[in-house]
A and B are shown apart, each in its own frame.
Chain A
């Protein structure tokens, strides 16, 4: 391998890393607050990308009815549970928060698709459209069993991913798609290596969003409340933070991140209906380096996995995924040696 190739692979690795970084942050956010390992995360990015591709093709994207359907389903679940507990008075509020507000982005996206809009608006509408998806999916499939063990939640989350990617196939078909670069052109690195501006943008956006993410968690009351819920759920309840509300907020923030990831990745990678699964799982490998709870650890993990994958694909494009997942086992073993965990209460699957 020459020096040039190594540099090229590193740059492409950084680009992949930026995606895993943002995905990893979302996954860690969700896991720490809700104990859910949210496998469908990558699918939400794909939804955003498909939406943008639809706008660019001057169509009303198929994601709009899909998101609307998910939202309505979640609304039905929410209202049913309220009715069952005879909480009649909160139903109007539930309809507002779980029905009306989440449908606003759908309407917005429909307007953009129908009448056309500048690229910036298209991008914003694509990101906004997917914001209700994670909270709604969680309301449907995860919140009713929020007290179950991490393992049960993981299995449900995995099954949920099969549902979302399968439904995505029905809605969008098996063809791949790509969107226009957000910024055209390229620059040349010292040594004559060309670098697309899109790649520079991805890396910059990843850094900026991570920074904002950090600030939001350190400085705002909501951010602190989310961290508090992650650290100690009983403690959070004792100061009046409702874990269910904190969970929804975490899913909402993660969904927004997923939207950003979708529009960033679609100009550089051809996406398919099932691409989200692998993006999500590889980001897990990154997040696991931080033990699924550490944001800096996830950042380091993302950097490592991205560059590793880039070099692995140089040696064998077909086996790169196997190599990246194979990497997880030594990572977990090293972690288990380095970090002495307290004995957890045994998890019961069937209770």
Chain B
């Protein structure tokens, strides 16, 4: 029932948009045209910045590239706006792909500054190219036609614009509820998180960037054929900042926030244009000052934007969350599973692994093996290098020397995501979850490498079958770890110990051969630890091999088949729990040497 209210709200908004031109004048319709066009750009920013975490100060430049592309083509070469649309999209695609590939390896503010660079540079180019009319721009751009129907009137353009906005919202909504969409939503969890489920953060970010640019390009094309005149200034840095303001004002956490933000900013600017000339001759510049000041206030006091407030109000009402019937849904064909290696066969082998950080040797010539069907514990005092060892085994960190074999294949040179795709799933010492995503979405992220549908198919909802399979798999794994009743709660609302269990469910969704667990029992209470131990034994019986780092000795000693003990980066001992416990060196390392 929780879906009913948003659906109802969407229908009301759509009806309002559809009926609005019937009751309002030409001026308001034109204003709403501007709002719709801006909403497309802001929608791209909500996806890119709000969901994906990459800020762009240059989105207006993409609007400009598309507008100039169609303007130039229709004025000088072929007067067909539809060909103009093709050119606009193609050109934006190519340019955004190149810029994205070049800059999206950068992190945080370096990326933002690089967008500032092209956000300034591209409009300067518009203003200095003769074929683009220099600073006076291009006038008399032809109107679009649908068959014999001219779209010159703002009333007709209105419907085209808002249909495009509606479809784009739908596309984005579908996209986010898909395999690639969950990867996009995971981007802010860091590259390591995505690579651990076999997803490529860099390419996810690049394609997201291209999609945001294409939305801006749609806006640019609509702008060129609505206004029928273009000049460099609507595409400059100030415009880019306005779009960013719209996205943040509306609410970066919500797709519909883009429409709200665009609406509020345009209505406000419209009012300012009426009021400011009464006070000053520099109304246009003062307008920018007021907008910038509002932006600052917004970031100080209301970073969640308008939709943030709306959603908070909405969540005040208790929401019945959907629950599941226990057991597999027989109607959904399960995802294909990996063959498990036979018991006792060597699965993983570390040979002479070394890791240096500067002068510090974190892991010093460590070798050990893990065989299929075992639970092996990796233990040692704090700072012994256990988590570093985990990172080396999964290729999260490059090793300084030595190599690692998995299923007789040397994986020391593979990328982290390729190791993950071979069937090595892991959890993290410092939990890496997306706290604002539901449990089931977090878990479904684990199935990334088991699906195929890309962003386009997801946006067009051609991935229905695969999506059902993935969600069923996620549900089944949640049930396996005992969290299925909370499937639609936010991951961040779980206690830390339970979050670790959720990470195990995510790892299981990847259908792993080898499971690496970094301190799975930390933060759990006694009864929960027992349940976890039972779960891990059951997993072993199902053919999953487990290597775990753990500090709770009671837990480890009663669970594992074999132990590897590390101390100061080196392997100290190896053997059964009883043998290790009796080892004098191990006792010294743990309790401190006797003085």
User: A155 — nearest CB in chain B belongs to which residue?
Assistant: B299
In the complex, A189 has a CB within 8 A of chain B? no
What are 11 contact pairs spanning A and B, CB under 8 A?
A151-B109, A156-B299, A160-B292, A163-B296, A166-B286, A281-B116, A322-B128, A346-B187, A349-B50, A349-B55, A350-B248
User: A140 — nearest CB in chain B belongs to which residue?
Assistant: B296
User: A326 — nearest CB in chain B belongs to which residue?
Assistant: B121
A328-B114 in contact given A159-B296, A163-B289 (Cβ < 8 Å): yes
Q: Mark B residues whose CB is within 8 Å of A.
A: 49-50, 53, 55, 57, 99, 102-103, 105-110, 112-114, 116-118, 120-122, 124-125, 127-128, 187-192, 238, 241, 244, 248, 251-253, 280, 282, 285-286, 288-289, 291-293, 295-296, 299-300, 303-305, 308
Contact with B along A313-348 (1 / 0, CB 8 A): 000101101110110110011011000010111111
In the complex the two chains form, is B241's CB within 8 Å of A158's CB? yes
* A350 to B435 Cα, complex, angstroms: 14
Question: Distance in Å from the Cβ of B119 to the closest Cβ of chain A?
Answer: 9
**Which residues on the B side are within 8 Å of A321 (C-beta)?**
120-121, 124
Question: Distance in Å from the Cβ of B59 to the closest Cβ of chain A?
Answer: 13
* A117 to B181 Cα, complex, angstroms: 67
* A351 to B295 Cα, complex, angstroms: 16
In the complex the two chains form, is B285's CB within 8 Å of A346's CB? no
Determine which of B109, B282, B293, B305 lies in contact with A163 in the assembled complex, contact meaning CB atoms within 8 Å: B293
In the complex, A72 has a CB within 8 A of chain B? no
In the complex, A150 has a CB within 8 A of chain B? yes
Ranked nearest first, the 7 interchain pairs of A and B with the lowest CB-CB distance are A166-B289, A162-B292, A328-B117, A322-B124, A346-B188, A159-B292, A322-B121
**Which residues on the B side are within 8 Å of A158 (C-beta)?**
57, 116, 241
A350-B53 in contact given A159-B292, A336-B106 (Cβ < 8 Å): no
**Which residues on the B side are within 8 Å of A159 (C-beta)?**
241, 292-293, 295-296, 299
* A325 to B116 Cα, complex, angstroms: 8
In the complex the two chains form, is B253's CB within 8 Å of A162's CB? no
User: B286 — nearest CB in chain A belongs to which residue?
Assistant: A166
A329-B103 in contact given A154-B109, A347-B108 (Cβ < 8 Å): yes
**Which residues on the A side are within 8 Å of B128 (C-beta)?**
316, 318-319, 322
Stretch at the interface among A83-91, A141-149, A219-227, A297-305: A141-149
Q: 8 Å CB contacts to B: which residues of A17-43?
A: 37
Determine which of B191, B286, B300 lies in contact with A170 in the assembled complex, contact meaning CB atoms within 8 Å: B286
Question: Distance in Å from the Cβ of A308 to the closest Cβ of chain B?
Answer: 14
Question: Distance in Å from the Cβ of B177 to the closest Cβ of chain A?
Answer: 20
In the complex the two chains form, is B118's CB within 8 Å of A346's CB? no
**Which residues on the A side are within 8 Å of B295 (C-beta)?**
155-156, 159
Where chain A touches its partner, the secondary structure class is: helix
Question: Distance in Å from the Cβ of B477 to the closest Cβ of chain A?
Answer: 25
* A350 to B188 Cα, complex, angstroms: 12
In the complex the two chains form, is A326's CB within 8 Å of B118's CB? yes
Question: Distance in Å from the Cβ of B302 to the closest Cβ of chain A?
Answer: 10
* A208 to B192 Cα, complex, angstroms: 46
Interface size class of A (residues with CB under 8 A): 35 or more
In the complex the two chains form, is A325's CB within 8 Å of B121's CB? yes
Determine which of B106, B112, B285, B289 lies in contact with A151 in the assembled complex, contact meaning CB atoms within 8 Å: B112
Determine which of B53, B286, B303 lies in contact with A152 in the assembled complex, contact meaning CB atoms within 8 Å: B303
User: A317 — nearest CB in chain B belongs to which residue?
Assistant: B128
Determine which of B125, B238, B252, B308 lies in contact with A162 in the assembled complex, contact meaning CB atoms within 8 Å: B238
In the complex the two chains form, is B106's CB within 8 Å of A37's CB? no
**Which residues on the A side are within 8 Å of B103 (C-beta)?**
329, 332-333
**Which residues on the B side are within 8 Å of A166 (C-beta)?**
285-286, 288-289, 292
In the complex, A260 has a CB within 8 A of chain B? no
In the complex, A284 has a CB within 8 A of chain B? yes
In the complex the two chains form, is B113's CB within 8 Å of A144's CB? no
* A155 to B298 Cα, complex, angstroms: 11
**Which residues on the B side are within 8 Å of A169 (C-beta)?**
282, 285
* A148 to B296 Cα, complex, angstroms: 13
In the complex the two chains form, is B252's CB within 8 Å of A284's CB? no
User: B105 — nearest CB in chain A belongs to which residue?
Assistant: A336
A336-B282 in contact given A346-B188, A349-B50, A349-B55 (Cβ < 8 Å): no
In the complex, A167 has a CB within 8 A of chain B? yes
A145-B286 in contact given A281-B116, A343-B190 (Cβ < 8 Å): no
In the complex, A288 has a CB within 8 A of chain B? yes
Determine which of A154, A160, A326 lies in contact with B112 in the assembled complex, contact meaning CB atoms within 8 Å: A154
**Which residues on the B side are within 8 Å of A288 (C-beta)?**
110, 113
Question: Distance in Å from the Cβ of B26 to the closest Cβ of chain A?
Answer: 31
**Which residues on the A side are within 8 Å of B253 (C-beta)?**
350
In the complex the two chains form, is A346's CB within 8 Å of B305's CB? no
**Which residues on the A side are within 8 Å of B50 (C-beta)?**
349-350
Determine which of A170, A341, A346 lies in contact with B282 in the assembled complex, contact meaning CB atoms within 8 Å: A170
**Which residues on the A side are within 8 Å of B57 (C-beta)?**
158
**Which residues on the A side are within 8 Å of B120 (C-beta)?**
281, 321-322, 325
User: A348 — nearest CB in chain B belongs to which residue?
Assistant: B188
Residue from A162, A163, A332, A335 having most chain B Cβ neighbours under 10 A = A162
**Which residues on the B side are within 8 Å of A336 (C-beta)?**
105-106, 110
Question: Distance in Å from the Cβ of A237 to the closest Cβ of chain B?
Answer: 22
In the complex the two chains form, is B124's CB within 8 Å of A167's CB? no
In the complex the two chains form, is A284's CB within 8 Å of B113's CB? yes
In the complex the two chains form, is B288's CB within 8 Å of A162's CB? yes
Determine which of A152, A156, A325, A343 lies in contact with B118 in the assembled complex, contact meaning CB atoms within 8 Å: A325
**Which residues on the A side are within 8 Å of B192 (C-beta)?**
343
**Which residues on the A side are within 8 Å of B113 (C-beta)?**
37, 154, 284, 288, 328, 332
Question: Distance in Å from the Cβ of B275 to the closest Cβ of chain A?
Answer: 15
User: B192 — nearest CB in chain A belongs to which residue?
Assistant: A343
Question: Distance in Å from the Cβ of A241 to the closest Cβ of chain B?
Answer: 24
In the complex the two chains form, is A350's CB within 8 Å of B303's CB? yes
* A316 to B118 Cα, complex, angstroms: 18
Determine which of B102, B105, B125 lies in contact with A322 in the assembled complex, contact meaning CB atoms within 8 Å: B125
**Which residues on the A side are within 8 Å of B282 (C-beta)?**
169-170, 174
* A156 to B244 Cα, complex, angstroms: 12
* A241 to B252 Cα, complex, angstroms: 36
Question: Distance in Å from the Cβ of A61 to the closest Cβ of chain B?
Answer: 19
User: B291 — nearest CB in chain A belongs to which residue?
Assistant: A162
In the complex the two chains form, is A152's CB within 8 Å of B299's CB? yes
Residue from A163, A167, A316, A341 having most chain B Cβ neighbours under 10 A = A163
In the complex the two chains form, is B102's CB within 8 Å of A333's CB? yes
User: A351 — nearest CB in chain B belongs to which residue?
Assistant: B303
**Which residues on the B side are within 8 Å of A281 (C-beta)?**
116, 120
User: B101 — nearest CB in chain A belongs to which residue?
Assistant: A333
* A2 to B44 Cα, complex, angstroms: 49
In the complex the two chains form, is B121's CB within 8 Å of A150's CB? no
**Which residues on the B side are within 8 Å of A150 (C-beta)?**
108-109
* A288 to B106 Cα, complex, angstroms: 12
**Which residues on the A side are within 8 Å of B288 (C-beta)?**
162, 166
* A185 to B53 Cα, complex, angstroms: 54
A329-B102 in contact given A37-B113, A163-B289, A350-B308 (Cβ < 8 Å): yes
* A160 to B294 Cα, complex, angstroms: 10
* A293 to B383 Cα, complex, angstroms: 30
Question: Distance in Å from the Cβ of A114 to the closest Cβ of chain B?
Answer: 27
* A323 to B122 Cα, complex, angstroms: 10
**Which residues on the B side are within 8 Å of A351 (C-beta)?**
303
**Which residues on the B side are within 8 Å of A160 (C-beta)?**
292, 296
Question: Distance in Å from the Cβ of A320 to the closest Cβ of chain B?
Answer: 9
In the complex the two chains form, is B292's CB within 8 Å of A163's CB? yes
A346-B190 in contact given A166-B288, A166-B292 (Cβ < 8 Å): yes
Residue from B49, B251, B305 having most chain A Cβ neighbours under 10 A = B49
In the complex the two chains form, is B296's CB within 8 Å of A156's CB? yes
Question: Distance in Å from the Cβ of B117 to the closest Cβ of chain A?
Answer: 4
* A346 to B53 Cα, complex, angstroms: 8
Question: Distance in Å from the Cβ of A292 to the closest Cβ of chain B?
Answer: 8
* A349 to B188 Cα, complex, angstroms: 10
User: A337 — nearest CB in chain B belongs to which residue?
Assistant: B105
User: B292 — nearest CB in chain A belongs to which residue?
Assistant: A162
Contact with B along A257-297 (1 / 0, CB 8 A): 00000000000000000000000010011001000100000
Known: A170-B282, A316-B128. 18 other contacts (CB 8 A): A37-B109, A152-B299, A154-B113, A158-B116, A160-B296, A162-B238, A163-B292, A169-B285, A281-B116, A281-B120, A285-B117, A318-B127, A321-B124, A325-B121, A333-B102, A333-B106, A349-B55, A350-B304
